[in-house]
Amino acid sequence: MARYLVTGGAGFIGSHIAESLLREGHHVRVLDNLATGRKGNLDALSAVGAGSRFEWIEGDVRSIETCRRACDGVDFVIHQAALPSVQRSILDPIETNEVNVGGFVALLKAAHETGVRRVVAASSSSIYGDTPTLPKSEDMPPAPLSPYATSKVAAESYARVFAKTFGLPTVSLRYFNVFGPRQDPTSAYAAVIPAFIDAVMSGRNPTIYGTGEQSRDFTYVDNVVRANLDACTRGDGGGEAINIAGGSRCTLLELLAAIGRATDTRPTPQFLPRRPGDVMHSLAAIEAARRLIGYEPTVGLEEGLGRTVEHFKRESVLRRTG
């Protein structure tokens, strides 16, 4: 069994990765400063018999000393720590850059110094911007519309430099609209699916920014977890950037209708103006992921929505009875 560091491991995606690694018998160290993650996301780890195979470090990736301590003795780093959200980055581009770029460079340097075998890092479909060509393939030039997207372009470049110049194997995974249990619906920057589900289950009208005809390639979190684990050991880690998605798209209006079916409701949206930095259409080409790391999405949108709604229902019951 191998030793893994999951940065941002108390977050939505990171906690699912940590749980899966522990279920497979690996040793897992989580580094998180709890800026956007929460320790409650790691409650499920007790159910997988983590015991001495789990280690928690509360700290910030912007600290090179913290990164060195976190990387020491691990085989693979799965980097999820970031300040997410296009809208947050527009309001505060400086901190977004400090965390998403500066923090990542510190982590890469520490990983190189401590002999980590490979770094797999979260990137984003937002780097493609609003180019009309669909599907988005990895050979398309970046066209970021926000500081967040720009920070991911820079991070991918640093990952390639550390692979080519320093000999540290790296892979960047470009996520397309990941959703699933543990995604925070209460944040001011909540992603659309938890925001929609929370509104519908609370009897409120979900908010759509724009016409609702904008489309996304929604990707259930289990697919993303598998991609991260496979990217650690498959392919050559030569600094590649790879799309990770469902490989199909639906509009926000279609999404809301699907959530209505999953919750047995008929939600009526309220419409507000389209927000700066939002792209109109997104769809991923996933042939490279299939070829390089053997990726295949196994959970589709409808099934993923059903699982996510059930999670929200359980959380609602726990809040009422707790």
Choice among 4, 128, 148, 158 that is catalytic: 148
**DSSP result, 181-220:** TT--SSSTT--HHHHHHHHHHTTPPPEEES-S--EE--EE
Q: What 3 state SS string does 81-109 have?
A: CCCCCHHHHHHCHHHHHHHHHHHHHHHHH
Residue 140: per-residue pLDDT: 97
Residue 277: per-residue pLDDT: 80
Residue 317: per-residue pLDDT: 58
Q: Select 3-178+221-246+285-298's CATH number: 3.90.800.10, 3.40.50.1000, 3.40.50.10740, 3.40.50.720.
A: 3.40.50.720
Name the token pair of 108.
């890469």
Give the Cα separation of 163 and 121 in Å (integer). Answer: 13
Give the Cα separation of 210 and 181 in Å (integer). Answer: 26
- Other Cβ atoms closer than 10 A to 76: 23
Residue from 20, 7, 2 nearest 221 by CA? 20
The amino acid that residue 189 corresponds to is Y
Residue 322: per-residue pLDDT: 52
Q: What is the pLDDT along the chain (322 residues), one digit of tens a residue?
A: 999 999 999 999 999 999 999 999 999 999 999 999 999 999 877 666 667 899 999 999 999 999 999 999 999 999 999 998 888 999 999 999 999 999 999 999 999 999 999 999 999 999 999 888 999 999 999 999 999 999 999 999 999 999 999 999 999 999 999 999 999 888 776 789 999 999 999 999 999 999 999 999 999 999 999 999 999 999 999 999 999 999 999 999 999 999 999 999 999 999 999 988 888 999 999 999 999 999 999 999 999 999 999 999 988 655 555 5
Contact 225, 17 (CB under 8 A): yes
**DSSP result, 45-88:** GGGGT-GGGEEEEE--TT-HHHHHHHHTT-SEEEE------HHH
Residue from 7, 48, 5, 24 nearest 226 by CA? 24
- pLDDT tens figures, 194-204: 999 999 999 99
Cα–Cα distances in angstroms (integers) from residue 220 to residues 32, 240, 301, in the given order: 23, 22, 7
Q: What ranges do the domains of the chain cover?
A: 3-178+221-246+285-298
- pLDDT tens figures, 238-255: 999 999 999 999 999 999
Q: Compute the radius of gyration of the chain from its Cα atoms.
A: 19
What is the number of H-type helices and E-type strands within the chain? 11, 13
Overall size of the chain counted in residues: 322
Give the Cα separation of 299 and 128 in Å (integer). Answer: 24
Bridge partners, residue 121, by sequence: 79, 172
Residue from 302, 211, 212 nearest 260 by CA? 302
- Whether 158 sits among the annotated catalytic residues: the reply is no
Burial letters 39-71, b for 16+ CB under 10 A, else e: eebbebbeebebeebbbeeebbbbebebbbbbb
**Phi, then psi, of 146 in degrees rounded to 5:** -145, 160
